[in-house]
Amino acid sequence: MLAGKNILLGVSGGIAAYKMANVASMLVKQHADVHVVMTKNAAKFITPETFEVLTRNKVYLDTFDERPDDPVHVPHISLGTGADLILIAPATADIIGKIANGIADDMLSTVVLPARCPILICPSMNVYMLENPIVQDNIEKLKRFGYEIIEPAEGYLACGYEGKGKLPEESYLVERVLLRAACKKDLAGKRVVVSAGPTEEPLDPIRVITNHSSGKMGYALARAAALRGAQVTLVSGPTSIKAPYGVKVEHIHTAEEMYQQVTQAAETADIVVMAAAVADYTPAEVADQKIKKSDGDMAIPLKRTKDILLSLGQNKRKGQFICGFSMETEKLLENSSAKLAKKNADMICANSLTQEGAGYQVDTNILTLITRDGQEQLPLLSKLDASHRIFDKILSMID
Ligand code: CTP
């Protein structure tokens, strides 16, 4: 996702500096060209060679270090001006103070001054150092000048204290980089609502009727939309997946709750994608107490839930795009095309439960995008890549 992007990692002298090796490696795996500038104190926690091996680029510690890959330009300028994004993590009180006050007395504090790209700073230090009003004042000043502050996490700190000041998980830092630097922001200014996961219809205080949906497709759609700059609301049934960063999540259980949340969010949405596996039926009555077994068999009376996609299609605003999903075990394209017409949707993403690599629980999917103009068969793709193809298609139809 970062192919062609130049990411500058600034590492200052906190114990969490060692974690940045993982961050560098994860960014390289996303095909970023990663350059690392360290303070001399950072080099006491992790060696420059570690970053050099991982990034295959020279690591800079001294303001007068030369740049083998660009001998023409002055390194302390070109490293900053050439970056698409700078991430400073861990950022000690010292480097924060220097940047906030325009001090440029080492390579790291110097490269940020000429930079014109987004600069993300993750303060990481002892909780009392972090709470110090001077440090807080410096952080506020950085925010005022447009630096993006990544809030430190809370927990057990290496100094033995409990509290705020931990460097967040490496994957979280990478996600913050992706959100700023990955993908064309072609959904910027658009409001996108995605539904995901199963619903749970209660029978009694203990039992529910649900399905096998993992929520992976809907969460991937929400993440893809956020990465492309959309303002995203994810209405999610119960899942074990972590919410994508930068997405507003509304947690629901029942089909009725999903109807309420989706309908409300759809009022101002430009695009709605119903990826949730919504129950079509719910128990006609929910028992107050646990239903006790008897000797004979039993039947549970069920009543219909509201069809959310149908309601969205019937109440579609001018210019609004409504996309549904369709899961079938037979006559996939025929049944899915019928849903497109019946529910007044603009697109149906059809996936067959019988194909290997498609459907519930797995990280991949094989979709056919059905619109009024025809059908587009997608190959086996990761659910994130499939999500991007869905938004590519939607954008080609609304622009
Ligand atoms: N859907 C919905 N509300 C429901 C049931 C389904 O909005 N009560 C949406 C799903 O989120 C999906 C689409 O409708 O986007 C198609 O769901 P699917 O279960 O495949 O089809 P159904 O409409 O339920 O039709 P059938 O049960 O006959 O296959």
* DSSP label at residue 277: B
Calculate what percentage of the chain has a pLDDT beyond 70. Answer: 100
DSSP 193-212: EEEESB--EESSSS-EE---
Residue 71's pLDDT is: 86
The CB of 324 under 6 Å from ligand 1? The reply is: yes
Structure tokens at 398: 């609304």
Query: Is the minimum distance from the CB of 325 to ligand 1 under 6 angstroms?
Result: yes
pLDDT at 354: 83
Determine the pLDDT at residue 279.
Answer: 98
Length of the chain: 399
pLDDT for the residue numbered 358: 87
Residue (of 368, 354, 269, 357) closest to 325 by Cα position: 368
pTM, entire model: 0.93
Average pLDDT of span 103-113:
97
Taking only the tens place, the pLDDT of each residue in 115-151 is: 999 999 999 999 999 999 999 999 999 999 999 999 9
Q: Who wins on pLDDT, 273 or 358?
A: 273
User: Which ligand 1 atom minimizes the distance to the CA of 324?
Assistant: 15
Is the CB–ligand 1 distance for residue 66 below 6 Å? no
> Which residues are catalytically annotated?
159
Rounded Cα distance, 317 and 269, in Å: 9
Best of 254, 280, 368 for a ligand 1 pocket test (most atoms within 8 Å of beta carbon):
280
| pLDDT for the residue numbered 359 | 77
Closest CA to 107 of 140, 139, 154, 60: 60
Q: Is 334 in the pocket of ligand 1 (CB under 6 A)?
A: no
Mean pLDDT of 209-218: 96
Q: What distance in angstroms lies between residue 294's CA and the mean position of ligand 1's atoms?
A: 34
State yes or no: pLDDT of 399 exceeds 80: no
In ligand 1, the atom with minimum distance to the C-alpha of 306 is: 8
